[in-house]
Structure 1
Amino acid sequence: MKLLVVGSGGREHAIAKKLLESKDVEKVFVAPGNDGMTLDGLELVNISISEHSKLIDFAKVNNIAWTFIGPDDALAAGIVDDFNQVGLKAFGPTKAAAELEWSKDFAKEIMVKYDVPTAAYGTFSDFEEAKAYIEEKGAPIVVKADGLALGKGVVVAETVEQAVEAAHEMLLDNKFGDSGARVVIEEFLDGEEFSLFAFVNGDKFYIMPTAQDHKRAYDGDKGPNTGGMGAYAPVPHLPESVVDTAVDTIVKPVLEGMIQEGCPYLGILYAGLILTADGPKVIEFNARFGDPETQIILPRLTSDFAQNITDILDSKEPNITWTDKGVTLGVVVASNGYPLDYEKGKPLPEKTAGDIITYYAGAKFVENSRALLSNGGRVYMLVTTADTVSAAQEKIYDQLKRQDTTGLFYRHDIGGKAL
């Protein structure tokens, strides 16, 4: 069968590469993809994620069995609804179900209604009201743009002044456009963060290995929030009992709640959680695979990925299996300046071979050449599996030291919390 993946980043590279390994898959197209993906035999389609009708026409003409939707903004724009409306299968939640991600206020309302543990909060569209709430609650405190902001719409403010400034930027300075027209202001939760993913169809769900992302740009969790600078899975020091509690108190009630609300969930559910003294609580929900967690979770999948998704779409019980050996760890290489202004066009090292995987997020070919240049904020990611976190770190960082990363940067402490 032939499949289509919508998106262009490292997450979509990992999804498409894993699908192409499946025995019944003839071709995997990625729209629009990036040039680095072609080094793994993936075929690019020059159609934007916002051009739903063109994507639908492509899927029809090329007899695409089903389409995997990668990015949050496509889901928020109702791409799954548009595919379904013409009888095409797409793996991802409808626009109504994806509101769990594209409106933090909606997600909070669902959590409160269905008794899901999360931080206390208030939602504001008026700056003076937001300011008064911040001053009443004090710091540290968290200010979030209500809508999608490419992983950058969250400010963990250590002082009241920082929080007020963040609210001012979102509500009055229009920093995130319509996404910041409302803000959700939350109590600061203290604890260790981790990511929990599940394949979902209605009230049926299949939990994946735990992962831990590193959101801040620089070593020691310093600098601005990014889309993610590296990750590892599973989280070896996280007890299985914590995952069981998260499933019982978070995943089950949310999925049952979505059914009650008339928008049953299909696709990948991503719960961004924090282990507090009172047990796991929700920081946020995403309505799709995370990036960079996808790149370190999917290499651990030992079953046939395409068959697994086909079965879930057909409401059949999938046979999903994972390796229990070692740890998979990945480090993101980004353009200097990311997540703010950054340069493009830096020469990239050759793709790795052997047991170190290169996933490309922002890469394009030099004209009339197969040499790659940087073409985004996050550029590529190196991923490997080893017996321990420290062994995986050693392999990746040894490789990075041998690469010419002029004009690029990466964190040197991915996985450090596990040591």
Structure 2
Amino acid sequence: MKLLVIGSGGREHAIAKKFTESSLVETVYCAKGNIGMKKDGIQLVDIAENDHQALIHFAKSEKIAWTFIGPEIALFEGLVDAFDKVGLKVFGPNKKAADLECSKQFAKDLMKKYAIPTAAYEIFEDYHAALAYVEEQGVPIVIKADGLAAGKGVVVAMTLMEATNALSEMLLKGKFAAGKPKVVIEEYLEGEEFSLFALVNGTKYYYTGVAQDHKRAYDGDKGPNTGGMGAYSPVPQVSDALIQEVLETVIKPTVNAMVAEARPFKGVIYAGLMMTKKGLRVIEFNARFGDPETQVILNQLDSDLAQVIDDILNGKDPVIKLHTDRYTLGVVVAAEGYPEKTITDIPLPQMNIAGSGCTIYHAGMKQGKSCLISDGGRIFFVAAQGSTLKEAQDKAYHYLTNNPIAHTFYRFDIGEQAIQFTK
């Protein structure tokens, strides 16, 4: 069968690459994709993810068996609805179901209504009321822009000045707002943070692994929030018992709640979680695979992903097996200035991974006059596997140390806390 993946980043590279490994799959297309994907035999399609009619025409003309949607913006803009309307199979939630991610207010209200554990919160549209609430509650406190923000719309304010600045940016200046600005202000939680992924079809859900992302730009979890600077899977600090607790107290009631609210979910649910001293709490939901978590999660998947998705779309229970004898760890290489004033058009050398034990997932890059050049904040992701997390970490950093690129940076401590935990 022929498959179409929507998106252009490292996440979509990982998904499309996994599909190419299936004996069921003849061709994998990616719209628009990026030039780095071509080395893995992925066919690029020069159609923007918001050009619904062109994507529908392509899927029909190429007899695409089904389409997998990677990025949240395509879900928010109703691409699934457009495909559903013309009878094309697609894996991803429709616009109403995607509110689980696209509206933080909807997600928080859903969790409150159905007793799904989450941080205490209030919602504000007025700057002065929001500021008064923050002053009353005290810091640290968490401020989230309501809506899509590419992983950057969350401020963990440790001081009143940080909170004031965040409220000003989000409510007065409308940063991240598609319509009327709105914020969710939550209690500050402390504990072990991790992400759990499940493939969902209505009330059925299938566990697909756990990962830990590193959101802050710099070592020691310093600097601004980013879309993610590295990840690893599995997470030694997360026991099998805790995974079962998440499935029973978070995933199961959430998928049932979405059905009860007439928003049945089909696609990937990504639960951002924290184990606190008071118990498990949901930080957020995403309605798709994360980036860069996908690049490590799919390396841990010991099943044919195309077969798994095909089974779910056809109402069958898939067989999902995860590797239990290895770890995957990966590091994002980003352009100087990311995530704020990012340097562009950085010349990129040919990336020779032969003998390194690493896999490279390409993201923000394009063809320049004489070589590839950067085209975004996060340029590529170096993933490595090992029988221990330390072995995987050593492989990834050995490659990065020996292949430096001017005007780029990366974190040097991905997975370090987990490695210390296992000692």
Amino acid in the other structure paired with 2:188: F
| Residues in 1 aligned to 2:368 and 2:115: alpha-carbon distance in whole angstroms | 53
Alpha-carbon contact 1:145-1:180 (below 8 Å) kept = no
Matched-pair identity in %: 56
**Aligned residue in 1 for 2:211:** 211
**Aligned residue in 1 for 2:366:** 364
1:397 is the counterpart of 2:407: no
| Residues in 2 aligned to 1:234 and 1:295: alpha-carbon distance in whole angstroms | 12
Amino acid in the other structure paired with 1:8: S
Give secondary structure in 2 for the equivalent of 1:398: helix
Alpha-carbon contact 2:141-2:185 (below 8 Å) kept = yes
Give secondary structure in 1 for the equivalent of 2:296: helix
Q: CA deviation at 1:350?
A: 2.5
Q: Equivalent residues in 2 for 1:62-141 (5 A)?
A: 62-141=62-141
Q: Mean alpha-carbon deviation: is it higher for 388-397 or for 288-297?
A: 388-397
Give secondary structure in 2 for the equivalent of 1:271: strand
Give secondary structure in 2 for the equivalent of 1:148: coil
Q: CA deviation at 1:372?
A: 1.9
**Aligned residue in 2 for 1:192:** 192
Give secondary structure in 2 for the equivalent of 1:189: coil
**Aligned residue in 1 for 2:354:** 353
Alpha-carbon contact 2:211-2:231 (below 8 Å) kept = yes
Q: CA deviation at 1:63?
A: 0.4
Q: CA deviation at 1:379?
A: 0.2
Alpha-carbon contact 1:147-1:179 (below 8 Å) kept = no
| Residues in 2 aligned to 1:336 and 1:237: alpha-carbon distance in whole angstroms | 32
| Residues in 2 aligned to 1:405 and 1:413: alpha-carbon distance in whole angstroms | 18
| Residues in 1 aligned to 2:105 and 2:177: alpha-carbon distance in whole angstroms | 17
Q: CA deviation at 1:347?
A: 2.1
**Aligned residue in 1 for 2:378:** 378
| Residues in 2 aligned to 1:130 and 1:180: alpha-carbon distance in whole angstroms | 15
| Residues in 2 aligned to 1:321 and 1:238: alpha-carbon distance in whole angstroms | 18
Q: CA deviation at 1:317?
A: 1.0
- Deviation track 1:270-300 (CA, whole Å, cap 9, x = no partner) reads 0000011122110000000000000001011
Q: CA deviation at 1:366?
A: 2.5
TM-score by length of structure 1 reads 0.98
Alpha-carbon contact 1:149-1:179 (below 8 Å) kept = no
Amino acid in the other structure paired with 1:361: A
Alpha-carbon contact 2:213-2:229 (below 8 Å) kept = yes
Give secondary structure in 1 for the equivalent of 2:210: coil
1:306 is the counterpart of 2:316: no
Deviant stretches of 4+, over 6 Å: none
Amino acid in the other structure paired with 2:44: L
| Residues in 1 aligned to 2:237 and 2:271: alpha-carbon distance in whole angstroms | 18
Q: Mean alpha-carbon deviation: is it higher for 216-225 or for 178-187?
A: 178-187
Q: Equivalent residues in 2 for 1:9-408 (5 A)?
A: 9-178=9-178, 181-351=181-351, 352-354=353-355, 355-367=357-369, 371-408=371-408
Alpha-carbon contact 2:216-2:225 (below 8 Å) kept = yes
| Residues in 1 aligned to 2:138 and 2:18: alpha-carbon distance in whole angstroms | 46
Give secondary structure in 1 for the equivalent of 2:65: strand
Q: CA deviation at 1:301?
A: 1.3
- Deviation track 1:387-419 (CA, whole Å, cap 9, x = no partner) reads 111111111111101113111100000001102
Give secondary structure in 1 for the equivalent of 2:68: strand
Give secondary structure in 2 for the equivalent of 1:248: helix
TM-score by length of structure 2 reads 0.97
| Residues in 2 aligned to 1:180 and 1:278: alpha-carbon distance in whole angstroms | 34
| Residues in 1 aligned to 2:44 and 2:354: alpha-carbon distance in whole angstroms | 22
Q: CA deviation at 1:179?
A: 6.3
Give secondary structure in 2 for the equivalent of 1:300: coil
- Deviation track 1:324-353 (CA, whole Å, cap 9, x = no partner) reads 112100000000000011122212232323
Alpha-carbon contact 2:146-2:177 (below 8 Å) kept = no
Q: CA deviation at 1:245?
A: 1.1
- Deviation track 1:78-129 (CA, whole Å, cap 9, x = no partner) reads 1101000000011000100000000000000100000000000000111111
Amino acid in the other structure paired with 2:416: G
| Residues in 2 aligned to 1:25 and 1:353: alpha-carbon distance in whole angstroms | 26
CA RMSD of aligned residues (A): 1.1
Alpha-carbon contact 2:66-2:89 (below 8 Å) kept = yes
| Residues in 2 aligned to 1:133 and 1:240: alpha-carbon distance in whole angstroms | 39
Structure 2, gaps ≥5 residues long? none
| Residues in 1 aligned to 2:221 and 2:361: alpha-carbon distance in whole angstroms | 23
Alpha-carbon contact 1:143-1:183 (below 8 Å) kept = yes
| Residues in 2 aligned to 1:178 and 1:11: alpha-carbon distance in whole angstroms | 24
Q: Mean alpha-carbon deviation: is it higher for 170-179 or for 25-34?
A: 170-179
| Residues in 2 aligned to 1:238 and 1:174: alpha-carbon distance in whole angstroms | 37
| Residues in 1 aligned to 2:416 and 2:143: alpha-carbon distance in whole angstroms | 27
Alpha-carbon contact 1:170-1:180 (below 8 Å) kept = no
Alpha-carbon contact 1:7-1:33 (below 8 Å) kept = yes
Number of aligned residue pairs: 417
Q: CA 1:213–1:139 in 2, change beyond 3 Å: closer, same or farther?
A: same
| Residues in 2 aligned to 1:154 and 1:332: alpha-carbon distance in whole angstroms | 20
Alpha-carbon contact 1:148-1:179 (below 8 Å) kept = no
Q: CA deviation at 1:180?
A: 7.1
Amino acid in the other structure paired with 1:295: Q
| Residues in 2 aligned to 1:334 and 1:179: alpha-carbon distance in whole angstroms | 30
| Residues in 2 aligned to 1:282 and 1:349: alpha-carbon distance in whole angstroms | 41
